[in-house]
Amino acid sequence: MSLIDQAKALDAADPLAFARARFSLPEGTIYLDGNSLGALPAATPGRLADVVSEEWGNDLIASWNKHQWIEAPHRVAALLGPIVAARADELLIAESTSINLFKLIAAAARARPRRTTILTEIGNFPTDRYMIDGAAGLLGLKVRAVAPGELASAIDQDTALVTLTHVDYRSGARRDMAAVNQAAKAAGALNLWDLSHSAGALRLDLNGLGCDLAVGCGYKYLNGGPGAPAYLFVARGLQDELANPLPGWLGHSDPFAFADAYAPAEGIRRFLSGTPSILALAALECGLETFDGVGISEVEAKGGALGDLFIAAVEQGCGGAVGIASPRDSSVRGSHVSLTHPQAYAVMQALIAQGVIGDFRAPDVLRFGFAPLYNRFEDVVRAGEILADIVTGGSWDQPHFHQRKAVT
Ligand SMILES: *Cc1c(COP(=O)(O)O)cnc(C)c1O
């Protein structure tokens, strides 16, 4: 059977096919970039219009109570619970991934005061690395970065915190969460995971695998819209022990007492700093609602199968003209596949010109994300065919495809 016939059969049997109608996708575009910016949920424009004109426009400041705006960081976080297998009172929507990283890195390091090292991986996502260095600089701690496979064995009695990204943003390789958490626990260190490329694509089990702390993006597989607020997770048993290093008034136990002295709220709320963006939370709520009634195991299985089929189409069409930079085994891969080509930037621009959207990551990576709620098997085979035409025919080599834009 040809790959396209296989794809059609897989689409016909897809238990998640119904979810595509929950999105508003442009006609004629094959969107393989939901790992950078999730597609627009069909419900979002109407919900935002209501929040703007009814809640903000009519009810004005009364909406903090009348429409429970004040509870939104918890209400929206509760929708994330089943997606990452954590309790609702361990999750909070707050600020950005970068800021949440800083808060939890510093909080964790201060909770292990006799230990002097923060351990991470070489090649961790840049914002993670910068926040680690920033927090370590302020607290007078050392940062140790080791090669990915060596992390679990590098944890020792001096490690306060082990922090890494679960799915590598370049290669798509998955890290062994259970092994790292076990090694960290055995040595008395805390663990902090960045789930930006995992939540909404892979079956996670934060409680079951002994995660202490986690953060991640709202705008990738969770479909919350550009710059959506992020989430953070603090295991219940640690919440009272950790102090928010950016203690803001909304994390106070009684914000409207306007007390001079900070007193942290009970539970997860203490990790909130300032006033949340209610419009952005409304959009993220619509994004998370696209997972209603969806089994995360099915999401993970489909993401893996989309990646496998894409790799097959690329190998069949491109031969040796591109390299495969992601694991071939979908059980150790996230939901994206990275290819290499010496002129990857221009190749991606040529693809985009033909309606196939992925992204470029320096120096030579073409990255394709598979969002199981709305990508179809047929899309990935077509994308592989179009890529094959471009790299074997050389149509990428035109001056306008070489011009770098600000965002790649
Ligand atoms: C996308 C991404 C981020 C983004 O952080 P922001 O604060 O939203 O800019 C952080 N970490 C990882 C691993 C990411 O993939």
Taking CA atoms, 327 is separated from 121, 308, 311, 318, 323, in Å, by 18, 10, 10, 18, 12
**E strand intervals along 252-371:** 323-324, 336-340, 356-357, 359-361, 365-369
Q: What percent of the chain has pLDDT over 70?
A: 100
Residue 21 token pair: 């109608």
Average pLDDT over residues 269-290: 98
How would you list the strands of the sheet with 336-340, edge to edge?
Answer: 323-324, 336-340, 365-369, 359-361
Average pLDDT over residues 105-110: 98
Closest to 38 in 3D by CA, of 317, 228, 321, 180: 228
- pLDDT range class, residue 408, cuts 50, 70, 90: confident
pLDDT over 90 (residue 339): yes
**Any atom of ligand 1 within 6 Å of the Cβ of 127:** yes
CB-based contacts of 382, cutoff 8 Å, min separation 6: 4, 30, 356
pLDDT per residue as tens digits for the range 366-390: 999 999 999 999 999 999 999 999 9
* Annotation marks residue 219 as catalytic: yes
User: ∠ at Cα 30 (200, 285), nearest 5°?
Assistant: 35
**Any atom of ligand 1 within 6 Å of the Cβ of 401:** no
The total number of residues shown for the chain amounts to: 408
Closest to 206 in 3D by CA, of 243, 188, 232: 232
* Annotation marks residue 367 as catalytic: yes
Mean pLDDT of the chain: 97
**Do the beta carbons of residue 356 and residue 385 sit within 8 Å?**
no
pLDDT per residue as tens digits for the range 153-165: 999 999 999 999 9
Question: What pLDDT does 149 receive?
Answer: 85
**Do the beta carbons of residue 142 and residue 118 sit within 8 Å?**
yes
* Annotation marks residue 125 as catalytic: yes
| Predicted TM-score (pTM) of this structure | 0.98
**Do the beta carbons of residue 74 and residue 88 sit within 8 Å?**
yes
Which atom of ligand 1 has the smallest separation from the CA of 194?
A: 13
Q: What percent of the chain has pLDDT over 90?
A: 98
**Any atom of ligand 1 within 6 Å of the Cβ of 36:** no
**Any atom of ligand 1 within 6 Å of the Cβ of 37:** no
**Do the beta carbons of residue 72 and residue 234 sit within 8 Å?**
no
